[in-house]
Amino acid sequence: AQSVSQHNHHVILSEAASLELGCNYSYGGTVNLFWYVQYPGQHLQLLLKYFSGDPLVKGIKGFEAEFIKSKFSFNLRKPSVQWSDTAEYFCAVNKGGSYIPTFGRGTSLIVHP
Amino acid sequence: NAGVTQTPKFQVLKTGQSMTLQCAQDMNHNSMYWYRQDPGMGLRLIYYSASEGTTDKGEVPNGYNVSRLNKREFSLRLESAAPSQTSVYFCASSEGGRTEQYFGPGTRLTVT
């Protein structure tokens, strides 16, 4: 069965620090990759996605992610976090044309002002 | 354009009671999903509907039933609520296949 691993369960940073959240998946075929963000008390929103092409994907609010096929990874990065980035971040992977994404367990990010 | 809407926002049930969570989307999406979110567990798929007229079980379907009423609406029913079903429930929709999902605001359910 496909699995999605987010290695960092809780991350605490100060404002202006750099961020990298890890995401690895176990499926070897064609995948579609997503990062979602859930701000406190809100629903999940799409941060960025990768289907094909340039493996470096830019999303909203200064976030980016890099797809490294050989490492089965899709890590999320931001060079300088803000207090407003405090949220839970979920990585999700679709196999090929599957209707069902597999979600990681999420990473809770707290940014101190 | 409201996106995905869910009702109710909050609900408290006693063990054994039944209720239906409603979900509707106005984006003409083919696929709809029900998830539950529990601390430390991420999102777990309960049921999904790949297209109007079809429904399938997800990872944690026990204790739930669904109805895809039409292309817009996808309801989740708890026939006999149990404390283990205390959770936040999210409905989502997508065009289908490889595309991203759009989530509703969630329903916080407590079963006592």
Domains of chain A, by residue range, sit at 4-112
**Do strands B42-49 and B102-103 pair parallel, antiparallel, or not at all (unpaired)?**
unpaired
**CA distances from residue A80 to A12, A20, A43, B101 in whole angstroms, order as listed:** 13, 10, 24, 27
Average pLDDT score over chain A: 93
Q: Which of A6, A23, A44, A45 to mutate to test binding with chain B, by most B CBs within 10 Å of its CB?
A: A44
Amino acid at B9: K
| Whole-number Å distance between alpha carbons of A110 and A87 | 7
pLDDT, tens digit (0-9, with 9 covering 90-100), for B82-111: 999 999 999 999 998 678 999 999 999 999
Alpha carbon B54 to chain centroid, angstroms: 15
pLDDT, tens digit (0-9, with 9 covering 90-100), for A3-58: 899 988 899 999 999 999 999 999 888 899 999 999 998 999 999 999 999 999 99
Of B27, B28, B34, B50, nearest to B96 by C-alpha is B50
**Do strands B107-111 and B42-49 pair parallel, antiparallel, or not at all (unpaired)?**
unpaired
Beta carbon pairs, A and B, within 8 Å = 49
Arithmetic mean of pLDDT, A96-109: 88
**What are the beta bridge partners of residue B6?**
B23
B100–A49 CB contact, under 8 Å: yes
| Whole-number Å distance between alpha carbons of B21 and B42 | 20
Cβ neighbours of residue B34 under 8 Å, at least 6 residues apart? B21, B23, B45, B46, B47, B48, B58, B64, B66, B74, B76, B89, B90, B91, B92
B40–A46 CB contact, under 8 Å: no
Average pLDDT score over chain B: 94
What secondary structure letter does DSSP report for B85?
A: G
What's the pLDDT at B98? 74
A101 neighbors A46 (Cβ within 8 angstroms): no
Query: E strands of chain B, at which residues?
Result: 4-7, 10-13, 19-25, 31-38, 42-49, 56-57, 64-68, 74-78, 87-94, 102-103, 107-111
B100–A34 CB contact, under 8 Å: yes
A46: contact with B, CB 8 A cutoff: yes
What's the pLDDT at A1? 60
Superfamily designation of domain A4-112: Immunoglobulins (2.60.40.10)
Arithmetic mean of pLDDT, A75-79: 97
